[in-house]
């Protein structure tokens, strides 16, 4: 892995860790219900690495798709109807 790719991977890992820390804090404060996680497959894998077992129990569904640049209708169609 080249230096640039390694730095990018480290940045992804740090961001995933930060997201999970924020979710963990919400869980500890009783502010977290069910989680529906939508993320590109690579980032979804990083999130899983940083989730505690109690946090994993809040994940109701995961969708390994990159919808960051999608329009609202595309995002809505990718999500369960109940959301």
Q: Is the pLDDT of residue 14 over 80?
A: yes
The pLDDT assigned to 79 comes to 86
* Helix (H), strand (E), coil (C) string for 26-41: HHHCCCCCCEEEEECH
List the domain range (segments joined by +) for residue 43.
Answer: 3-78
* CA neighbor of 39 nearest in space, from 5, 63, 13: 63
Q: pLDDT tens digits, residue range 20-70?
A: 999 999 999 999 999 999 999 999 999 999 999 999 999 999 999 999 999
* Angstrom distance (rounded) from CA 50 to CA 40: 16
What is the pTM (predicted TM-score) of this model? Answer: 0.83
Q: What pLDDT is recorded for position 3?
A: 87
Q: Domain tally for the chain?
A: 1
Contact 80, 36 (CB under 8 A): yes
* Residue-level pLDDT at 80: 82
**29 in a structural domain:** yes
- Does a structural domain hold residue 83? no
CA angle, residues 11, 14, 19, in degrees to nearest 5 = 125
Does 32 map to a domain?
yes
């Amino acid at each position: 892995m080249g230096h640039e790719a390694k730095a990018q991977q480290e940045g992804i890992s740090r961001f995933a860790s930060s997201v999970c820390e924020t979710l963990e804090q919400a869980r500890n404060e009783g502010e977290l219900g069910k989680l529906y996680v939508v993320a590109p497959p690579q980032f979804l894998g990083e999130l899983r690495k940083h989730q505690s077992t109690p946090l994993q129990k809040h994940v109701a569904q995961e969708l390994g798709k990159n919808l960051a640049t999608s329009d609202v209708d595309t995002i809505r169609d990718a999500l369960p109807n109940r959301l």
